[in-house]
């Protein structure tokens, strides 16, 4: 039994402690917004926050996430109120959309650490997230826009 | 125009003249025909208030649901096709929703005669039908209001979700009219709007599917879960065409959570309570394989074979003038050989398929671009009739052609697994399975000979193409292969737009045991590079500016010339750049659209290439959603850059040598250039958007590398070419 705290809720899961966190989120907890893309921490589709840090849940043992704050895309803001979600909608970033949960979760950590990132800062922080549809220029644009929104409200 | 393009066009005309029923019998393969002849069935058991046709439903809550018969894989059909309906319906856009269509003959592609998404045809092929669906519904709603108000319907009009009586000021919402409208007889051939009256078409419109894609709510195939479902991973042969000799599953079965291990035609399936036990179980399988006839295949060997073939003329796809004679009289001749690798589609969502198989029915959830074919194939595998098979199409986490397989590989296999598992199953492909699973863009070798006259003008263009046929062996053979020439192998080459007086394009089609498939922009993905890169060589050999020479030779191609000029102007063609930087230009006509691009590239002393800027001009006829066109150009350019710069699939001893994103690399954000897109305003019919921006990318970049470094790129990916100072 592993005790997890996911999106603010405590939950016990009966899984092999070696299971990657990704599959516990997706299959045990039905939080399917976190995606499987590579299983080797190469594409970033599975990005979630662990104690506020962006991690690749496909290579994180669930046992190592026990007792820590886990935030998934569903926990960011289901009502679309997060500046990144607003900016993503305003710029119409997604195409197929499969990688976008991971993109947004990586971007959220970037913005929490750097309220006014440059293009270079964005490229550096987001380089682990692949988008096969090639929405990169809109991702940059939307992160700048979200940063603006965040700054104007704080 | 290539054979393929010509056929497509002919079918457009024929289709319009003869109507769908007759069109079907012209070319639709047998398995499709068997499935297509049955009548359209009612959509849902509970008949909604107003469903005037297969594409529109209006509820008493005023919600307008557009049933979309195209798969959403990022290209924006869940927005652009509803826009067509909403325009003619005079709907309130904020009340418009989308819903994926079930599989039914009513949703067949008006040209291809099966339900499918591909060929960059979604907007072009539904341009009339979806507007007609909206217009018909509007007339019926107005008729309902006229009946309620006892006035002449000609005195009423619809606007923003209401029917209005201008004389009395009365207004009735569509929802309030739905039940009466449902009793009206649908009118035929309702006149469509004059395009000058469009309110929605042509305006940048936010996508309807974006909100769900930013909060985790969007459901892709891999996200589907049904009661009692098992997760299955399949161990497939390491060599294409290989077979299981024998296997030992003892260790696999000992993994907690593994329920069963069964042999299926494609390999050994591990049936488990979730992905992780299935993966652990599969890793512990001991399998002896019979590698079969492809055990010795290697990229090196194939390259040699292709290069030898390229030196002899193949089957002639197009001939103009007398190339042999003209070559003898040319002032200068140049020859060049080009090479392009196999490519995997590498959609972000690996393949997957959920199957619930019962004795008398089968329900399938899978991100497919090929519903009719997959349903027929699933039915055959399950021993059922097609109408006993239901396919639900969730969102596709990328398609790029891989999910439109005439062989229905991932669907048939999942049905076979379900049969053996005797439980609902979700077959999941790992990234490694997806990368190594075949159905690649073919590997190509191209050989050119060009002749130049004393003024430096090209007078001879001879192009020999070597590569596997995508179409051979599929039900499309009769439609797309003529006199041994697969139209998709020579598209973008045989239909060269440049006015060169003596031309020959010929084709060798070797048979190789690697399964191949269409890959975003199909034959254009390879011919675009070879043709436009060699054109650049020819221009330089004749001492001509590559842009000016293109302009001159496009004298009879006003639409292409216009996009070329626009791209050159916006892309600062001819303006000075610092040393180590260069610009390249390329054009390409595909899916009836015209695209030109200017790439700005630097090459440093270590040979590292960086693409700084891509400028793209496109003429795709009338535009439905300009922001979607822009997005598709941007995405296609980054997709094209991945192929140009980074990725290749190679084989050694029959085995694919790449596995995951570390050795089959994708473009990342730090490598993505600034992209500018310019759309040429047009009143012509809409043409392709999803694919046409891919072909000019690699040649524009290769030509820019030549301008920057003096080095010719004749082989992709560029990363493998030594460009050191």
- Give the up-direction half-sphere exposure of residue B195: CA atoms within 13 A in the CB hemisphere: 14
Q: How far apart are CA B425 and CA B356, in angstroms?
A: 7
Give the tens place of pLDDT for each residue, A1-39.
999 999 999 999 999 999 999 999 999 999 999 999 999
| B637 touches B693 (CB < 8 A) | yes
Q: Give B299-342+440-720's CATH code, choosing from 3.30.720.110, 3.30.365.10, 3.20.20.10, 3.60.15.10.
A: 3.30.365.10
Residue B136's contacts (CB-CB under 8 Å, 6 or more residues apart) are B52, B53, B186, B187, B190
* A72 in the same domain as A16: yes
Q: Does the CB of B610 have a partner CB in chain A at under 8 Å?
A: no
Alpha-carbon Rg of chain A, whole angstroms? Answer: 15
Contact A96 B396 (CB under 8 A): yes
Q: What's the Cα-to-Cα distance from B247 to each of B263, B264, B498, rounded to whole Å? A: 9, 12, 58
Q: Residue B461: which H helix or E strand, with range?
A: strand B458-467
Banded pLDDT at A78 (limits 50, 70, 90): confident
Q: How many domains does chain A have?
A: 2
Q: Which positions in chain B touch A138 (Cβ < 8 Å)? A: 631, 634
Contact B670 A89 (CB under 8 A): no
Q: What's the Cα-to-Cα distance from A112 to each of A53, A147, A152, B265, B559, rounded to whole Å? A: 10, 10, 15, 51, 48
Q: Which positions in chain A touch B212 (Cβ < 8 Å)? A: 97
* A92 in the same domain as A35: no
What ipTM did this prediction achieve?
Answer: 0.98
CATH number of the domain to which A66 belongs: 3.10.20.30
* A52 in the same domain as A90: no
Taking the CA of residue A154 and the nearest CA in chain B, the distance in Å comes to 23
Token pair of B437, please? 């699973």
* A88 in the same domain as A134: yes
Token pair of B615, please? 């400028």
| A70 touches A4 (CB < 8 A) | yes
Q: Which of A76, A93, A110 is the last residue of a domain?
A: A76
> In chain B, which stretches have pLDDT less than 50?
1-46
Find residues 395-424 of chain B whose CB sits inside 8 Å of chain A: 395-400
Query: Which candidate, B346, B348, B394, places its Cα nearest to that of B369?
Result: B394
CA angle B708/B713/B719 to nearest 5° reads 90
Token pair of B58, please? 């209006």
Contact A40 B660 (CB under 8 A): yes
In chain B, where the domains are located: 1-37, 39-199, 221-292+351-428, 299-342+440-720
CB-closest option in B215, B222, B346 to A85: B215
pLDDT at A154: 64
Token pair of B134, please? 């909206």
Q: Hey, do B39-199 and B221-292+351-428 end up sharing a CATH topology, with the first three levels equal?
A: yes
Taking the CA of residue B168 and the nearest CA in chain A, the distance in Å comes to 40
Contact B73 A96 (CB under 8 A): yes
Q: Does the CB of B228 have a partner CB in chain A at under 8 Å?
A: no
Q: Does the CB of B676 have a partner CB in chain A at under 8 Å?
A: no
CA dihedral B566, B568, B569, B574 (to 10 degrees): -170
The alpha carbon dihedral of A71, A73, A77, A78 has a sign of negative
By CB atoms closer than 10 A (0-12, 13-18, 19+), residue B558 is exposed
Query: Which candidate, B586, B528, B594, places its Cα nearest to that of B560?
Result: B594
- The strands making up B96-100's β-sheet, listed across from edge to edge, are B50-53, B56-58, B64-68, B96-100
Q: Which CATH architecture best describes the domain B221-292+351-428?
A: 2-Layer Sandwich (3.30)
Domain hosting residue A138, numbered range? 83-153
Query: Which candidate, B593, B622, B596, places its Cα nearest to that of B689?
Result: B593
Q: Which of A29, A61, A76 is the last residue of a domain?
A: A76
Return the number of other C-beta atoms located less than 10 Å from residue B482's C-beta.
Answer: 15
Which of A30, A133, A138, A144 to probe the B interface (max B CBs under 10 A)? A133
* A102 in the same domain as A47: no
What SS3 class is residue B582?
Answer: strand
pLDDT at B48: 66
Query: Which candidate, B402, B399, B395, places its Cα nearest to that of B207?
Result: B395
Q: Does the CB of B275 have a partner CB in chain A at under 8 Å?
A: yes
| pTM of the full structure | 0.94
Q: What is the CATH number of domain B39-199?
A: 3.30.365.10
Q: How far apart are CA B118 and CA B106, in angstroms?
A: 18
| B345 touches B443 (CB < 8 A) | no
Residue in chain A closest to B639 (alpha carbons) equals: A134
Contact B397 A96 (CB under 8 A): yes
* A87 in the same domain as A70: no
Residue in chain A closest to B642 (alpha carbons) equals: A132
Q: Which positions in chain B touch A42 (Cβ < 8 Å)? A: 660-662
Q: What's the Cα-to-Cα distance from A30 to each of B123, B211, B224, B639, B721, rounded to whole Å? A: 35, 19, 10, 32, 46
Q: How far apart are CA B339 and CA B446, in angstroms?
A: 6
Give the tens place of pLDDT for each residue, B483-509.
999 999 999 999 999 999 999 999 999
CB-closest option in A85, A123, A138 to B214: A85
Taking the CA of residue B304 and the nearest CA in chain A, the distance in Å comes to 32
- Give the up-direction half-sphere exposure of residue B447: CA atoms within 13 A in the CB hemisphere: 15
CB-closest option in B348, B395, B672 to A132: B348
Q: Which positions in chain A touch B642 (Cβ < 8 Å)? A: 132, 134
Beta bridge partners of B84: none
Query: Which candidate, B648, B629, B626, places its Cα nearest to that of B637?
Result: B629
Q: What's the Cα-to-Cα distance from B416 to each of A142, B243, B387, B500, rounded to whole Å? A: 44, 16, 18, 54
Q: How far apart are CA B713 and CA B707, in angstroms?
A: 11
CATH number of the domain to which A149 belongs: 1.10.150.120
Q: What is the DSSP string of A46-70?
A: TEEEETTEEEEGGGSBGGGGTTSEE
Q: What is the mean pLDDT of residues A63-84?
A: 95
CA angle B501/B505/B506 to nearest 5° reads 150
């Amino acid at each position: 039994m592993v005790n997890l705290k996911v999106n603010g809720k405590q939950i016990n899961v009966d899984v092999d402690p070696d299971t990657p966190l990704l599959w516990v989120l997706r299959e045990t907890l039905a939080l399917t917004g976190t995606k499987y893309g590579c299983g080797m921490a190469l594409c970033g589709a599975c990005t979630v926050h662990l104690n506020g840090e962006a991690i690749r849940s496909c290579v994180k043992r669930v046992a190592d996430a026990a007792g820590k704050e886990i935030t998934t895309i569903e926990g960011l803001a289901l009502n679309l109120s997060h500046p990144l979600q607003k900016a993503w909608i305003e710029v119409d970033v997604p195409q197929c959309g499969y990688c976008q949960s991971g993109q947004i979760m990586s971007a959220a950590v970037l913005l929490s650490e750097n309220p006014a990132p440059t293009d270079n800062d964005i490229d550096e922080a987001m380089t682990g997230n692949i988008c096969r549809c090639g929405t990169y220029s809109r991702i940059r644009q939307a992160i700048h826009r979200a940063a603006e929104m965040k700054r104007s409200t704080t | 125009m290539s054979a393929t393009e010509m056929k497509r066009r002919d079918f457009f005309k024929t289709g319009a003249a003869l109507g769908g029923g007759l069109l079907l019998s012209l070319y639709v393969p047998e398995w499709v025909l068997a499935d297509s002849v049955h009548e359209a069935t009612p959509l849902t058991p509970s008949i909604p208030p107003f469903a005037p046709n297969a594409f529109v439903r209006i509820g008493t809550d005023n919600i307008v649901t557009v049933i979309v018969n195209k798969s959403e894989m990022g290209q924006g059909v869940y927005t652009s096709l509803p826009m067509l309906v909403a325009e003619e319906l005079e709907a309130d856009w904020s009340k418009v929703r989308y819903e994926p269509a079930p599989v039914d003959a009513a949703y067949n592609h008006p040209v291809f005669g099966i339900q499918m998404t591909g060929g960059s045809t979604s907007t072009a092929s539904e341009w009339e039908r979806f507007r007609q669906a909206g217009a018909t519904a509007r007339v019926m709603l107005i008729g309902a209001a006229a009946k309620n108000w006892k006035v002449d319907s000609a005195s009423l009009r619809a606007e923003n979700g209401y029917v209005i009586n201008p004389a009395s000021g009365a207004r009735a919402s569509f929802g309030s009219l739905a039940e009466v409208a449902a009793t009206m007889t649908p009118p035929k051939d309702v006149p469509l709007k004059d395009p000058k009256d469009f309110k929605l078409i042509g305006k940048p419109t936010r996508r309807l599917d974006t909100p769900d894609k930013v909060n985790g709510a969007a459901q892709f195939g891999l996200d589907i879960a049904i009661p009692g479902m098992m997760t299955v991973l399949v161990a497939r042969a390491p060599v294409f065409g290989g077979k299981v000799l024998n296997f030992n599953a003892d260790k696999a079965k000992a993994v907690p959570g593994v329920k069963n291990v069964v042999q299926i035609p494609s390999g050994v399936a591990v049936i488990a309570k979730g992905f992780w036990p299935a993966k652990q179980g599969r890793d512990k399988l001991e399998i002896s394989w019979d590698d079969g006839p492809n055990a010795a295949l290697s990229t090196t060997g194939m390259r040699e074979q292709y290069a030898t073939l390229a030196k002899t003329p193949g089957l002639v796809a197009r001939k103009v003038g007398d190339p042999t004679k003209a070559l003898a009289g040319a002032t200068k001749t140049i020859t060049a050989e080009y090479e392009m690798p196999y490519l995997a589609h590498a959609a972000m969502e690996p393949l997957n398929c959920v199957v619930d198989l019962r004795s008398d029915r089968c329900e399938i959830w899978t991100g497919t671009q090929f519903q009719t074919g997959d349903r027929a194939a699933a039915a055959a595998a399950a021993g059922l009739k097609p109408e006993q098979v239901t396919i639900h199409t969730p969102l596709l986490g990328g398609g790029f052609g891989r999910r439109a397989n005439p062989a229905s590989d991932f669907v048939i296999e999942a049905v076979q697994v379900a049969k053996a598992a005797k439980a609902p199953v979700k077959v999941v492909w790992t990234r490694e399975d997806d990368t190594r699973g075949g159905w690649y863009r073919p590997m190509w070798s191209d050989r050119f000979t060009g002749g130049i006259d004393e003024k430096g003008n090209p007078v001879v263009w001879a192009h020999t193409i070597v590569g596997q046929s995508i179409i051979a062996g599929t039900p499309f053979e009769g439609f797309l292969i003529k006199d041994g020439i697969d139209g998709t192998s020579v598209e973008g080459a045989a239909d060269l737009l440049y006015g060169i007086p003596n031309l020959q394009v010929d084709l060798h089609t070797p048979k190789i045991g690697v399964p191949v498939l269409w890959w975003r922009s199909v034959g254009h993905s390879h011919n675009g590079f070879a043709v436009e890169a060699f054109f650049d060589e020819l221009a330089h050999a004749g001492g001509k500016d590559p842009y000016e020479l293109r302009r001159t030779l496009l004298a009879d191609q006003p639409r292409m010339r216009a996009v070329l000029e626009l791209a050159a102007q916006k892309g600062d063609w001819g303006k000075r750049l610092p040393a180590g930087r260069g610009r390249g230009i390329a054009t390409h006509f595909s899916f009836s659209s015209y695209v030109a691009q200017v790439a700005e590239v630097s090459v440093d002393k270590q040979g590292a290439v960086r693409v700084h800027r891509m400028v793209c001009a496109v003429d795709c006829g009338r535009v439905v959603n300009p922001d979607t066109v822009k997005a598709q150009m941007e995405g296609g350019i980054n997709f094209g850059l991945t192929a140009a710069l980074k990725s290749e699939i190679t084989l050694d001893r029959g085995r694919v040598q790449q596995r995951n994103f570390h050795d089959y690399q994708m473009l990342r954000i730090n490598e993505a250039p600034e992209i500018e897109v310019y759309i040429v305003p047009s009143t012509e019919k809409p043409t392709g958007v999803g694919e046409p921006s891919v072909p000019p990318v690699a040649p524009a970049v290769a030509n820019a590398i030549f301008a920057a470094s003096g080095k010719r790129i004749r082989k992709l990916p560029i990363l493998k070419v030594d460009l050191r100072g």
